[in-house]
């Protein structure tokens, strides 16, 4: 500090050269600190790369059955559109295992939802999970994974009442979807009595949007 004072005051005169240097250094340090703090608050994104939600488009006009309840447990009939991509998870499973009976390996296919046409549907999934329903779940990134059923020999199957649960075109598009290339699908729900399932899906029909 003494040396700095000597530099700033030489022979009883103010050394403006060193004062200017100190001011410039202070501005540079302050600017760098501000830039670093702003950079931490803003998520990094490569130039020209869109966020996943920006790749979803719900502008196509189609006839959908509307609702205000969004009941997904057989207590409502409606259609909605979601955007996302598929993932497959394999885990042991059985509905009512006898003691000592081995569980069966089940390959479940989930649709990771990144955007919703109807916020009411998103809320309905969230409430179902909070009530303890395990057909769907929320992943570590905060996205809801909607169970579409099982993947058996390259085909999507589900225990539903609908004989035409999913068609070939929709099936192929879902299996090809990725986080980089999400797709939009129509989920249709019907009123029905509760049921046990091995290849579980709360939707009665799935179609490409």
pLDDT digits (tens, 9 = 90+) for 120-150: 999 999 999 999 988 999 999 999 999 999 9
Asked if the model's pLDDT at residue 191 lies above 70, the reply is yes
pLDDT computed for residue 187 by the predictor = 97
Mean of the pLDDT values across residues 91-110? 73
The answer to whether residues 82 and 183 touch, using CB atoms and an 8 Å cutoff, is no
Burial grade of 206 (CB within 10 A; 0-12, 13-18, 19 or more): buried
The residue among 44 and 152 whose pLDDT is bigger is 152
pLDDT tens sequence across 103-123: 677 899 999 999 999 999 999
Cα–Cα distance for residue pair 75/185, rounded to 1 Å? 21
The answer to whether residues 186 and 208 touch, using CB atoms and an 8 Å cutoff, is yes
pLDDT computed for residue 44 by the predictor = 46
Mean of the pLDDT values across residues 83-91? 94
pLDDT computed for residue 180 by the predictor = 95
Task: Using alpha carbons, list the distances in angstroms from residue 3 to 8, 13, 18, 40, 111.
Answer: 9, 15, 12, 37, 68
pLDDT computed for residue 165 by the predictor = 95
């Amino acid at each position: 500090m003494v040396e700095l004072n000597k530099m700033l005051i030489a022979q009883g005169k103010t050394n403006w050269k060193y004062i200017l240097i100190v001011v410039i250094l202070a501005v540079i340090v302050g600017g760098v600190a501000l830039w670093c703090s702003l950079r931490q608050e803003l998520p990094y994104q490569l130039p020209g790369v869109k966020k996943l939600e920006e790749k979803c488009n719900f502008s196509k006009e189609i006839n959908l059955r509307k609702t205000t309840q969004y009941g997904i447990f057989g207590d409502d009939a409606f259609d909605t559109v979601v955007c996302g991509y598929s993932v497959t998870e394999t885990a042991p499973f059985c509905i009512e295992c006898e003691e000592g009976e081995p569980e069966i390996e089940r390959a479940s296919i989930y649709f990771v939802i990144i955007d919703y046409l109807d916020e009411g549907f998103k809320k309905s999934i969230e409430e179902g999970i909070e009530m303890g329903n395990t057909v769907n779940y929320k992943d570590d990134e905060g996205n809801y994974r909607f169970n579409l059923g099982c993947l058996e020999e390259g085909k999507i199957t589900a225990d539903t009442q609908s004989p035409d649960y999913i068609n070939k075109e929709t099936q192929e598009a879902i299996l090809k979807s990725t986080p980089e290339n999400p797709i939009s699908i129509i989920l249709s729900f019907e009123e029905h009595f509760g049921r046990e399932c091995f290849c579980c899906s709360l939707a009665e029909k799935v179609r490409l949007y």
